[in-house]
Each structure stands twice: as structure tokens, then as C-alpha cells.
Amino acid sequence: MILDALLTEALRSHLPKIVEPIELVASLDNSPTSAKITELLGELDVLSADINVRFDGSAERRPSFRITRVTDPHASVTFGGVPLGHEFTSLVLALLQVGGHPSTADADLLDQIRGIEGTHRFETFFSLSCQNCPDVVQALNLMSIINPNIEHVALDGGAFQDEVAAREVMAVPTVFRNGEKFGQGRMTLEELVAMIDSRSSDRAVEKIAAMDPFDVLIVGGGPAGSSAAVYAARKGLRTAIVAERFGGQLLDTMGIENLISTPYTEGPKLAAELEDNVRNHQVEIITAQRAERIDPAPRIGGLHTLTLESGAALQARSLIISTGARWRRMGVPGEAEYANRGVAYCPHCDGPLYKGKRTAVIGGGNSGVEAAIDLAGIVKHVTLLEFGDELRADEVLQNKLRSLSNVTIVTSAMTTEVLGDDKKVTALTYRSRADETDHQVDLDGIFVQIGLLPNTEWLDGTVQLSEHNEIMIDGHGATSVPGVFAAGDCTTVPFKQIVVSMGAGSTAMLSVFDHLIRTPQDTNVSA
């Protein structure tokens, strides 16, 4: 049995939602992956009378299988390899949506997808351990199902290693359109539609520009912003949340074991739950938009203006900034040039692409050492480089790392350059701070794990920042500007954690409420 009891149960509960018969057609070869596809399709066949399975497919790319609506062959998606692991949900959704079960995506967005013209043949390379991949796979699958101009093949990179090498796929997800590289990394349905449909950005700007002022505008949709939004809605405030990507760092987080209500969850799952909960409250959610500037209210009680990079502007009586943080870059020559061509930041996502290869991890804190331990189980060899004289990770992690035979630890090492052959990374160089000697490590992949930077550049000169560019806040989450509050990883809060950010979001929002009821609204001015 390829499907364990849990997966079989999940399918049993979902497959009755199929309303139109579907056909699964496999194109196989003699590989072990083909045997697994045969097993998987056989098990799906017996789980639903609406599923018919055939093994006589004529697709060029093998092993793969195509899911098609019997009454409308345009409604189809193709998987190359076995979409289990993180892609199991994509498989279930594909079965249901090809089978006529409606998507829960925004109705306007679905209409927009139906209206996309031209020919768009998408191929997405994913890995079964990549948390960022399902969003992309599911978004393109949905497009392929509802618009006959769009086709999508989702490929497990692990099952198509030769193609991965030939097409220079160095990170997942990587998307090709009509044979050309189209995008890399996590992309939401909205973002993908915006990339395909050039008119969508103008429509979004028009929609935002027509919005009336809010009581509170939250910038950032991670744990801090979500928590603030729920508190605001429960206080009856007219609320909007603007986020480049709803979920923030949760989208890059594998296992979470310190969320107090549950022993274990995963970042993308928590992010989806937060978004659902916020959507279930009266909150205007504006995603795929980056904040560019704040113009604080000229008078107490007036309106603050938030300008977005798209050119649209929003106004509100109060603001909460919760723009979080991002991976810190090394800032050495070659890093930007080879990003996603050997330089990676998410070991959970991209680690499997380096199976049997030589890699380095930069950074000897908890995340670097965890990444090195994780990679050591997949790759041929890991060199861990730490700038300081000793590792900074917890003792238990260091002990585990030192017990691994395929790991070399180098301390007092300052990475100086990423080298490559124009196509991909081939080596890195570092200078030993102990004896000033230069060294080269030949390798295929570099995982950078040297901490986080607050997303506050766009605020320069508006609210007071610390020497580390974190927003200075008091115990109420208040910034140096009246009516502007902040919460989470972008602030001077000493601990950057999910529950800390959630608590900070609620603190900031309760402070906003306090501020609003004590501050008479200036009705004479618009800004």
C-alpha cells in the first residue's frame, strides 16, 4: 500500500465531493517511480466510483499521469512522479477540482483567470519536502483546470534528475512557461495571475483607490498582523490588512513545536489557518501589495496615509506596522548572481535538490546547525562555516552535529566569495580569521543561515528605529509617531517568536483601540 491509513482516510472523506467523472491516464516506463504510480492509481481507483484509471498513456514525459474531466478534456492537470509528501494536498485538490468541485478562491480572481488569453504551457519542478511548492502547484493546477488556454505539468524534481540538471533547476519551486523560465520560489495565486495578466495590477490599484478610510490599517500579514486584525475586528473597528505575502515567515517554517495549543504543526498550515480566521472576521485583506511610505497624520485625530509600491494609497486613523523580518544575505561577491543557482536560504525546500552533492552551510547558530544536521542526511558532505570562534547553537545541536561523519566544521571563517561557472555555483572562498589564510571549498550548494533583518527600510525617517533598524516601541506597542503602533519581529521586542508576535499584535491593537476612543476624530481634514 502506497497510501497509509491516514491518507486513505483523508481521501475517503474528500473524494465524495467529486461531481463529474474523472479519468487518470498513466504514461509509464520501467522505473521504480512508475511502479509507485501504478500502485497509487490502483488505490485511488478503488476509493471512488467516479475515478477511472488507465495505464496506456502516450505522454512523452514518463513516468507521469494526467487527470482529466471526462466531459471536458480541457479541464486537466498532469503530475510527473508521485505527488505525495507535501504535494498530497495538491493531488487531492486536483482530483476534486478536475472532478468539478469548486475552488474557494476569490470569485473575481477566478473570473480573471477564466479571461486569460494566449497559450500558457506551465511546468513546475517541486520537491516532496518543499513547503513553498504546493501553493504554486495548486495555483497553476487550478488555472489549468478552469482555463483551456492554460496547461500545467507538476514535476517531482527527484524523479526527473536528468531534466533538473539539463534545465538548470537549482531551487524549487521553479516554473517554466512555454519552455522559458517564468518564476522561482513561493508565489500565490494572486501573484501568478498578476504575472500572467498584465492588466490585473491596474485593476487592483483602482479597487484600492476606491476604498474609504479605515479605523485601523495593519501593514504585514504574519502572526503579529493576523492577531492584530482579529482583535480589531472583534472591537468593531473598520480594519484592513495589507500584506505582501499573507503568513510571513510561517511560509518558510517546517515544523513548529512551540505553539502552546498543539504539540506540532507546520508553518504553511498555521499560515492558512490564520488567513482563514482573519477572513472570517470583518477585515479587508489586501495581498500582493508592498507598502512603500507612510505619511503620518498632520494633526492628532487626522488620517495617516499609506502609499503602496503599486501607486495606490490607503488612509486610516491609526496604523499597526507588523512587517516582520527576512533572511540576512552574506553580501559577498557572487551571492546575488548565483541566488537560486546554488545559493539557497531554505534547506527544507531546496535540500533534496542537492542529494549526493557537496554543500556548505553558512552560520553556526541554531538555524545553521539545524540545517547542517538536516542536510547531512541527504547530501554527500556539508561544510559548516561560522564567522565566530565557536558555534553559537544549543549544546544538544552541536553534539548531534559533531557526531555526523560527513560534516566538517570550520570556525573563525569569513566567507569572501561565491564562485561559479556562469551557470551555477562551483565553490566558495573564505578567509581564516585565525591565521589570515585564504581557502577554497569546491561544492554545489551553499545554504545561508545567518539570521534575520527587520523589514523596515521603507520606514526610514518616519518612525524612530534602533541601531539594528528595528522599530522602537514601548510596552503598549506605540512608536514615536502618535497613532502609529508596531508589533512582532520588525520591532525592538527581544524575542522573535510566533507566540511573542501574536501577543504583540494583540497588545498593539488594544492600544490602538485605547488611542482611538481617547482621540477625537479630526473631521475637517482628509489627511
**Residue numbers at the binding site for ligand FAD (CB under 6 A):** 219-225, 242-246, 248-250, 252-253, 256, 258, 290-291, 322-325, 455, 458, 488-489, 496-499, 501
C-alpha cell at 153: 505539468
C-alpha dist (Å) from residue 345 to 222, 443, 498: 19, 16, 20
Identify the helix (H) or strand (E) that includes residue 141: helix 133-146
**Apex CA 137: angle with CA 19 and CA 292, to 5°?**
120
Rounded distance, CA 40 to CA 5, Å? 13
Minimum distance from CB of 301 to ligand FAD (Å)?
25
**Apex CA 56: angle with CA 54 and CA 59, to 5°?**
110
- Measured from the Cβ of residue 295, the count of other Cβ atoms closer than 10 Å reads 14
Active site amino acids: 346, 349-350
Minimum distance from CB of 342 to ligand FAD (Å)?
20
Rounded distance, CA 141 to CA 18, Å? 16
Minimum distance from CB of 8 to ligand FAD (Å)?
30
C-alpha dist (Å) from residue 28 to 64, 68, 92, 156: 7, 17, 21, 15
Minimum distance from CB of 365 to ligand FAD (Å)?
12
Beta carbon nearer to ligand FAD, 168 or 457 = 457
Beta carbon nearer to ligand FAD, 31 or 258 = 258
* Pair 218, 244: CB distance under 8 Å: no
Beta carbon nearer to ligand FAD, 64 or 249 = 249
Minimum distance from CB of 165 to ligand FAD (Å)?
27
Unique residue bearing C-alpha cell 486569460: 116
Beta carbon nearer to ligand FAD, 18 or 361 = 361
Beta carbon nearer to ligand FAD, 53 or 204 = 204
Minimum distance from CB of 190 to ligand FAD (Å)?
12
Rounded distance, CA 470 to CA 478, Å? 13
C-alpha cell at 291: 507598502
Unique residue bearing C-alpha cell 528595528: 470
| CB half-sphere exposure, 189, CA atoms < 13 A | 18
Beta carbon nearer to ligand FAD, 335 or 374 = 374
Identify the helix (H) or strand (E) that includes residue 371: helix 366-376
Identify the helix (H) or strand (E) that includes residue 180: strand 180-184
